[in-house]
Chains A and B, each alone.
Chain A
Amino acid sequence: MSHSGNWEVVIGLEVHVQLATQSKIFSGTSTQTGDDPNRHASLIDLGMPGTLPVVNKEAIRNAVRFGLAVNADIARRSVFERKNYFYPDLPKGYQTTQLAEPIVGAGEVEIQLESGDKKLVRIHHAHLEEDAGKSLHEDFHGQTGIDLNRAGTPLIEIVSEPDMSSAEEAVAFARKLHSIVTSLGICDGDMSQGNMRFDVNISVRRPGEPLGTRTETKNLNSFRFMEKAIALEVARQIDVLEDGGEIVQETRLYNGETNTARSMRTKEDANDYRYFPCPDLLPVMVSEEDIQTLRDELPELPDARKARYIEQYQLSAYDADLLSGSIATARYFETAAEHGGDAKLAANWVMGELAAKLNAEDKDIADSPVSAEHLGELIQRLKDGTISSKIAKQVFEACWNGDGSPDRIIEAQGLKQMSDSGELEKIVDQVIADSPAQVEDYRNSDDAKRKKKIGFFVGQVMKATQGKANPQQVNQLLQQKL
C-alpha cells in the first residue's frame, strides 16, 4: 500500500515497571509468583473483609530513585487513590494507585538515534500502584480461574508526553527506560514475564493539523514487537484516514506471532473509575534528607556510562549508547573488555558476533552461553596472535555450543595459529609450486592488481593450514617469495 503525502506520527508511552521488592506494595506478602496459584496471596491481597494496606518503604524509595534518574520533581507529599472498577483479578474492586498527586512529577530522558541525533522525551509523571492478579482461561472447562499471586505487586507507571514521532524513537525511549530501571536495580526488566510492560499511544495527522484520535496498543513483550506493532498501527491508521474513515479511540491487543493486532472489546459505556483518596492510607511524605540520601546512593546511570565509554574506550556515541543501553550488556561488555584487554575488540564482538547469535536464538545477554570472561579470553588470544579472526569465530561457535573455555577449545581442536615460520614457509612454497599459471599471472600484473591477486594464494595457504596461519604472516611470506 502506498500512502499519499506526508503524515506525522505522534507517539506517547505508558510504561508499567514491576518493582523488584521482596514484598508487595501494601502487604508483607512475597512478590514471587512462579509457584502454585494463590500461594502468594495473603488476606490483604485477597481483599478479605477488614484487612488494611500498609505501604512498603522500598517501593517508595524505588519510585524516588527513578524520579531522580530522570531529573524529575519528587513530590514531598503524594497521595494514593482508589480507582474503582469490577474485575475478577481485582480483589478489592478498586486498584490503589495515584492520580492527582503522584510521587514523581515531570522529568525527561535523552534518547540517541541511529542517525547520531539526540532527542529529549519528556516524562509527564510517574506514579506508584498495585498490580492486578491473573485470569486463567485454560483448564477450567469453560470457566475462568483467578490467581491472585501477582495482585499487589508494586508497579510504577511512567507516562511520557507524546514526544515521539517514529517507531525508532519510541523503541529508543523504551530501551532507555529499560536501561534506567535495570541500572537502578529497581526492576529486572524481563519483558517476556511482563515485568516491564509498554503500552503505546499512537495517532497520526497531517503536518500542522491538530492531534488525531489515538489508539493504545498493548501486549508488546519485546522491543522488536514494539517496533513492528507501531509500524502496523501507523499503517492501519493512515489507511483508514486515506480511505475517508475515522480512527476510533480504542485499545488494541498486539499478537507478536502473527504480527497482527485486534481491538479489545470496549464497553459501550466508557468506565467511570470514581477516583478518590484512599481512606485507608495517609499521604506519603518524603523528606529532603531522604531524597538527598537516595540521590547520593544512585548507581551509575546509562548517560554517565555512555559518556564514560566514549571517553574511556574511544567508542562512537552510537556504539557507546548501544553498549551502555542495558545494564546487562554494559556489565558483559566491561567484563569482556577487562579480561580481553581491548575495549574496541570487545565492543565489536559484543555488538557483532554475540548480538547476532543472541538475536538468532532469541536469548538475553545475561543468558549468553559464552560468558563475558570467555569472550575476554578469546579476545586475548586474538590479540596475542594465538588465533586468527577466522579461527576466533570458530572458537566462539564452539564455546557457544558448550565445548569449554576458548583456551581449552584452541588446545583440544589444535586451532593454534602457526607461529613456526619454517613450517609455514614450506606450505607457502608448496602453494607457489602448485600454481604456476597463477604465479605467472601475478608476476605480470602491476602493483594494484597484485594486491587483489595475492588473495588467491592467501586463500590456498589458509586452506592448507585449515585457517591456522596468521594471515599477515602469510601475506608477508607470499610477497617475498612471489
Chain B
Amino acid sequence: MAIDSKVVARAAHLARLRVDDSETAELSARLNDILGMVDQLQQADVDQVEPLAHPLEVSQPLRDDRVTEPDVRDKVLPLAPASEDGCFLVPRVIE
C-alpha cells in the first residue's frame, strides 16, 4: 500500500507533527520503503490466528483502593515550560 503526500500530511496532523512541503517527498519515499517492507505481512496466513498483544498471556494485577501517591506539584511545576498559580499554561483553548 503506497502512501502519497496527502496520507503523510494526514498522519502528521494526527500525530501533531509539522511536515514542511520541502520534506514531504523525501519523507513519503522513506515511509514507502518502510511500508513496502512491512507489506510482507500480507503474505502470512493468519485468518485463524488470534492477535497477541502481550508475549505472556497473564492477567492484570489489581491494586487495592488506597491513596499512596504524594502531592508532587512543587516538584513537577518547575519542569513545565509555562505555569502559573499551580496550573500548567497553554495558549488559549477554545471549545
Taken residue by residue from 83 to 95, chain B's Cβ proximity to chain A (1 for < 8 Å, 0 otherwise) reads as 0111111111111
Given contacts A55-B60, A264-B95, contact A144 B89 (CB under 8 A): yes
Q: Inside 8 A of A281's CB, which chain B residues have their CB?
A: 60
Q: Are B85 and A282 in contact (CB under 8 A)?
A: no
Inter-chain CA distance A301–B6, complex, in Å, is: 55
Interface size on A, residues (CB 8 A): 56
A142 contacts the other chain (CB 8 A): yes
Inter-chain CA distance A58–B67, complex, in Å, is: 12
Given contacts A48-B76, A55-B63, contact A42 B89 (CB under 8 A): no
Q: Inside 8 A of A40's CB, which chain B residues have their CB?
A: 71
Given contacts A29-B69, A277-B53, contact A143 B90 (CB under 8 A): yes
Q: Are B69 and A88 in contact (CB under 8 A)?
A: no
Taken residue by residue from 30 to 50, chain A's Cβ proximity to chain B (1 for < 8 Å, 0 otherwise) reads as 100000111111111110100
Inter-chain CA distance A139–B95, complex, in Å, is: 17
Q: Inside 8 A of B89's CB, which chain A residues have their CB?
A: 140, 143-146
CB distance from B20 to the nearest CB of A (A): 20
Q: Of residues 34 to 73 in B, which have CB atoms within 8 Å of A's CB atoms?
A: 53-54, 58-73
Q: Which of A23, A43, A57, A274 is the one whose CB lies under 8 Å from B67? A: A23
Taken residue by residue from 61 to 90, chain A's Cβ proximity to chain B (1 for < 8 Å, 0 otherwise) reads as 000000000000000010100001010100
Q: Inside 8 A of A60's CB, which chain B residues have their CB?
A: 62
Q: Inside 8 A of B58's CB, which chain A residues have their CB?
A: 282
Instruction: Apart from A282-B60, A282-B61, list 4 A-B contacts with CB within 8 A.
Output: A23-B68, A38-B73, A143-B89, A147-B87
Which residues in A have some Cβ–Cβ distance to B below 8 Å?
Answer: 21-23, 27-30, 36-46, 48, 54-60, 77, 79, 84, 86, 88, 135-137, 139-140, 142-148, 253, 264-265, 269, 272, 274, 277, 279, 281-285
* 30 pairs of residues in contact across A and B, judged by CB atoms under 8 Å: A23-B66, A28-B66, A30-B67, A30-B69, A36-B73, A38-B87, A39-B73, A43-B69, A43-B72, A44-B69, A46-B72, A55-B61, A57-B63, A60-B62, A79-B53, A84-B14, A88-B93, A136-B87, A137-B92, A140-B84, A140-B85, A144-B92, A148-B88, A265-B94, A265-B95, A272-B14, A274-B14, A279-B53, A284-B59, A285-B60
